[in-house]
């Protein structure tokens, strides 16, 4: 039997040991895993909350909570997917000979789709007729405003810099995209429009929703044209 003082103050704080003699076997010092349930560790003058789960060599290196994912707000808020509707627009665009990208704009408060569009650059002879731009134009006309605060834009491919700038100008609340675009993307790739100091608005961004389906559609489209 030894007292808490024999363990060292830091080890006692991690284990939450009571101020009374405790057997070594009861402390489980020979096991490699210990679970901290709401334990708090005082380190470097700060009080850090410990996460539940296995802790290894905590007394030697301290406890550090892993930072949350960059875009994780959707994990704790109501989240209904509309990517299937965007994929339908992308397939329709492919049938017209356009790059298969589709977009829909939804009011998350009501679940109503305000606009849906696919690429029409060739059909309209308009290099700006991307799915996102056409959907934003239609949604703005539907609500009678040049801005769409609180609305969600679902698109099958990461928006290009032009579309990202239009999303910021429209003050769209949340952007959800499917496949990343390392070549022409403007959100997580290239210029990263929303991170630019001159961007007046930054929506919540969620990437990788239905990524496999969105990417497969694009690969099949371009493979058929090679």
Q: Compute CA distances 30 → 59, 75, 88, 106, 125, whole Å.
A: 14, 38, 58, 56, 73
Provide the residue-wise pLDDT of the chain in tens; the chain has 226 residues: 334 334 344 434 433 444 444 444 444 434 344 444 443 333 333 333 333 333 333 333 333 333 333 443 333 345 579 999 999 999 999 999 999 999 999 999 999 999 999 999 999 999 999 999 999 999 999 999 999 999 999 999 999 999 999 999 999 999 999 999 999 999 999 999 999 999 999 999 999 999 999 999 999 999 998 8
How many angstroms separate the CA atoms of 49 and 101, rounded? Answer: 45
Q: Annotated active-site positions, please? A: 132
pTM: 0.66
């Amino acid at each position: 039997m030894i007292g808490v003082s024999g363990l060292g103050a830091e080890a006692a704080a991690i284990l939450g040991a009571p101020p009374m003699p405790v057997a070594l076997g009861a402390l489980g010092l020979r096991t490699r895993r210990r679970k901290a349930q709401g334990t708090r560790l005082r380190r470097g003058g700060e009080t850090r909350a410990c996460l539940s789960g296995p802790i290894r060599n905590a007394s030697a290196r301290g406890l550090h909570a892993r930072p949350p994912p960059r875009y994780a707000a959707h994990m704790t808020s109501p989240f209904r997917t509309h990517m299937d509707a965007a994929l339908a627009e992308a397939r329709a665009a492919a049938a017209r000979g356009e790059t298969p990208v589709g977009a829909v704009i939804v009011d998350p408060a009501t679940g109503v789709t305000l606009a849906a569009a696919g690429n029409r650059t060739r059909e309209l002879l308009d290099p700006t007729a991307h799915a996102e731009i056409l959907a934003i134009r239609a949604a703005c006309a539907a609500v009678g405003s040049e801005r769409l605060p609180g609305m969600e834009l679902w698109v099958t491919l990461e928006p290009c810099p032009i579309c990202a700038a239009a999303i910021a100008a429209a003050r769209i609340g949340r952007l959800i995209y499917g496949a990343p675009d390392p070549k022409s993307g403007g959100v997580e790739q290239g210029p990263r429009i929303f991170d630019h100091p001159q961007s007046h608005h930054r929506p919540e961004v969620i990437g990788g929703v239905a990524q496999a389906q969105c990417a497969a559609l694009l690969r099949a489209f371009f493979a058929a044209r090679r």
